[in-house]
Amino acid sequence: MNAIIIEDEKPAARRLNRMLDKLEVPIIAVLHSVEESIAWFKENDHPDLIFLDIQLSDGLSFEIFDHVKVKSSVIFTTAYDAYALQAFKLNSIDYLLKPIDDDELETAVAKYKELLKNLSSKQESSNLQLNFEDIKRLLVNPIEREYKKRFTVKVGQHLKMIPLLDIECIYSENKGTYIHTSEGRNYLLETTLESLEDELPPDQFFRVSRKVFVQLNAIKDIIAYSNSRLKVVPNCFKEFEIIVARERVKDFKNWLG
């Protein structure tokens, strides 16, 4: 098995390469743009697997497949909106939301290996390929869906309803998931950050790191931080510093508009 990485953010590409090296996945090329990728595919044997970001410096990576009939399977490594990812997850080997988690990456690679083991014909192998035309249509016209409008939390013997607009951030700490409100209160949720990916409206909430979602209207200030990262200052959240992971800075700025 061999693989390539297509990722425009070079620090993210280097990190992913190191992670895959630990999983003994040989990386034969690291590409950074649509144009570079098209040229590479035309001149080289196609790999077994592609680790693919969606938003590259010179366009969407789907443009590659308009010019080249790629014979590889794909695992997405992207920060693209969760509702679009949910729409085409069934067609892909897997997708990994940045910042990439070691365990999730290992699971995705294991899933691909298991699929290969179970294949008995070239026809079955072709079923691993993504239908890129369908995926592009989904990204242009994402599925309409209902997002959460409020959370219901237990306070003693009572249930309290908290509208999304009253939430400054949602964070994980000590294996628990909490919401922090504009009143400065923390409430424990019976869920995980991962399960909230598809439930929070993406125009209001952004996952700045593995640990935190921030709410747009609750951001008081944004400050340049070390190693090309950003520090987000909410109106009243003081539990810890909220730092935008370096791999997410570009998407965070795009989200801010």
**Residue 83 banded pLDDT, cuts 50, 70, 90:** very low
Q: Is the dihedral of CA 186, 188, 193, 195 positive or negative?
A: negative
Residue with tokens 């400065």: 184
The answer on pLDDT for 236 being more than 60 is yes
Nearest Cα to 13, choosing from 68, 78, 60, 66?
A: 78
Helix (H), strand (E) counts: the chain: 8, 17
**Residue 101 banded pLDDT, cuts 50, 70, 90:** confident
**Domains within the chain, CATH numbers bracketed:** 3-140 (3.40.50.2300), 150-256 (2.40.50.40)
Query: Kindly report the CA angle at 156 between 150 and 162, in degrees rounded to 5?
Result: 15
The answer on pLDDT for 120 being more than 50 is no
The token pair that represents 76 in the structure block:
């997405």
The answer on pLDDT for 12 being more than 50 is yes
| Range in 33-47, 87-101, 164-178, 241-255 with the lowest mean pLDDT | 87-101
156/256 Cα distance (integer angstroms): 37
User: What pTM value is reported for the model?
Assistant: 0.51
**Residue 135 banded pLDDT, cuts 50, 70, 90:** low
Given a contact cutoff of 8 angstroms between Cβ atoms, the answer to whether 73 and 46 are in contact is no
141/30 Cα distance (integer angstroms): 30
